A and B are shown apart, each in its own frame.
Chain A
Amino acid sequence: MIGLTDASLSFGALRLFEGLTLGVPQGRTTAILGPNGRGKTTLLRAMLGFQALDRGHRHAPAIIGYVPQHGASQAKLSGLEVVIMGRAARLGLFGQPGPEDVTAAHGALAQVGAENLAELRYDRMSGGQRQMILIARALATGSRVLVLDEPTSALDLGNQSRTLSLIASLGRIRDRAILFSTHDPNHALAVADYVVLMMPGGAVLQGPVDRMITPGLMAELYGVPMQWVRPADPSGRSAMLPAFTGKEAA
């Protein structure tokens, strides 16, 4: 369980949230949804404890698996070494990772299906490969709380899809609490049970995914008309897209 109780945070005149109570219980995947610059990352940082609150309380386990947006960007280390760093919280100040940490790191790599990246140098990997390593590192912490900051935003379509499938599968096992931020409602639709909307003006709405992702709320969230696009094949997935008039209108 990770969450905030009655939390407020503002920077000068900019109010990010006020009196916000938000909890991510075990076994639930929650998406924080909003356009760029509305404070998704800051809310995550507050939940992780990196950003002090003006008011309110934070509750979280001592060790959290965290996937930053641009992690370890300069590490000229192997993929395995970067994953082993996830064990750091279990080592003392003078501790060195031992064989059990290496085993745990290999296990985490296997969970994300990236054993083949163990020996590759991290700073030479593609964005999608790095993402898998960083998720494996978060799993290597052994924490049952996983927080991902914009896990899909820097990836191409194929890697977005792979990352989302991975998040969905990770959420189904070990009763994990997963919290991630995204600016794409379809990514929330794909994997989240619960959605937090960062509305204009500092209001924060939250609820189950089917009640929050509606054309009305999405239009308000993004400031453009939105609509459902339903597939002709009823087994396909519906998408929430901007209702702009494209080339068909002409």
Chain B
Amino acid sequence: MTLTSQDAAPRRGLFSLRPGVFPVLTAGLVLTMLYAISAGRFEVPFGRILEILWARAQDLSGSPETMEARIVELVRLPRVLLAALSGAALAVGGAALQGVFRNPLVSPQVLGISQGGAFGGALAILLGFHGVVLLGMSFGFGLLALILVGLLARIDGRTEVLTVILAGMVVGAFFAALVSVLQFLADPNTSLPAIVYWLMGSFATATWPRLGLAVPGMAFGLILVWALRYRLNLLALDEAEARSLGVNPDRERWFIFGAVALMTGTSVAVAGVIGWIGLVVPHAARLIVGEDHRRLIPASALLGAAYLVVIDTLARTLTAAEIPLGVLTALIGAPVFAVLLRQHFSRAGAP
């Protein structure tokens, strides 16, 4: 296969040029988004979408007049944009964590960040908060979960991968139990359905204001990880080796952790828990562009965006009712995780 970089090293140091990859990924994302806007019970042809968007670009004031324009502008466009942004954020979060932990098996969900965020968000709903407060609590508890995992997994100053994964399971299970406690305490007529519906994960409630709420956190997280992309290559080295190269792993890791918690917390806040993206997408991206984070991070962002847009479109078009996103991502993600797990531990035995 010509697309993989598993066999040949990059030809030139800086931009190991395999020229087509990024334009192809970008074009794929744009086409996927156009298809997602077009598909649904009320189908809008590609040409009409472009006309509607062009008309809107000419005149930003005013409200959409036709039925088609209302569906595209008020329903599908914010939904597709939110799905794309969340997909990019979750995939980049996974790729960044895998770099820092030097292991392709970790992801925001495996490390319990999603469950921490879910608890924060559910607590906010129970207390009657929404919007920025819900988002803030989701981020805060996601970060807390990550800190707990970091502390639990650090034994004698060393952080073993297996310990990290087990600690992530422990912390994730703990926060999942706390979410159950909240559900038990919640009013079955008002807050309980709100929490349950929110936790299942969906972009059905996407609106422009909700997108506006998600953009700052996700964009900041994405930009921070992008800015640290070369640092991720260095953080993937052994700790002492990284330090000898002038990297301060203990400090720099926390920039990454903060960015990942921000992105994961934000996505949980606006769309519930959507697992597995951070695991599946970086793996696919690695097969296409290799391990260098300067290529892996943007490739993960583009692929993740397209992947979640596809999943969301399937979720709302496959059946009359919407399928929760978490169900679809898990159906694909769990088998991929199983394959990665076997590969990892069969290789770990060899020198």
Query: Which residues of A from 117 to 154 have beta carbons under 8 Å from B?
Result: 118-122, 141
Residues of A within 8 A of B292 (CB): 77, 81
Q: Which residue of A has the minimal Cβ distance to B291?
A: A76
The reply to whether A71 and B238 contact each other, CB–CB distance below 8 Å, is yes
Interface residue B241 (Cβ < 8 Å from any Cβ of A): yes
Interface residue A194 (Cβ < 8 Å from any Cβ of B): no
Interface residue B121 (Cβ < 8 Å from any Cβ of A): no
- 8 Å CB contact of A50 from B10, B240, B255, B290: B240
Q: Which residue of A has the minimal Cβ distance to B228?
A: A94
* One of B163-171, B190-198, B242-250, B297-305 at the interface: B242-250
Interface residue A68 (Cβ < 8 Å from any Cβ of B): yes
Instruction: Give the docked Cα–Cα distance between A119 and B237 (Å).
Output: 20
Residues of B within 8 A of A91 (CB): 230
Residues of A within 8 A of B8 (CB): 121
Query: Which residues of A from 74 to 121 have beta carbons under 8 Å from B?
Result: 74-81, 84-86, 88-91, 93-99, 102, 105, 118-121
Q: For the complex formed, measure the closest distance between the CB of B189 and the CB atoms of chain A, giving whole angstroms.
A: 51
Query: Which residues of B from 219 to 268 have beta carbons under 8 Å from A?
Result: 227-231, 233-234, 236-238, 240-241, 243-247, 252, 255
Interface residue B13 (Cβ < 8 Å from any Cβ of A): yes
Interface residues on B, range: 20 to 34
The reply to whether A73 and B238 contact each other, CB–CB distance below 8 Å, is yes
Q: Which residue of B has the minimal Cβ distance to A121?
A: B9
Q: Which residue of B has the minimal Cβ distance to A90?
A: B246
Residues of A within 8 A of B290 (CB): 76-77
24 residue pairs bridging A and B, Cβ less than 8 Å apart: A48-B244, A50-B243, A50-B244, A62-B246, A63-B246, A66-B245, A68-B240, A68-B241, A71-B241, A72-B238, A74-B102, A74-B236, A76-B290, A77-B9, A78-B10, A84-B13, A85-B245, A91-B230, A93-B231, A93-B255, A94-B227, A95-B230, A121-B9, A141-B245
- Interfacial residues, chain B to chain A (CB-CB below 8 A): 6, 8-11, 13-14, 16, 102, 227-231, 233-234, 236-238, 240-241, 243-247, 252, 255, 290-292, 294
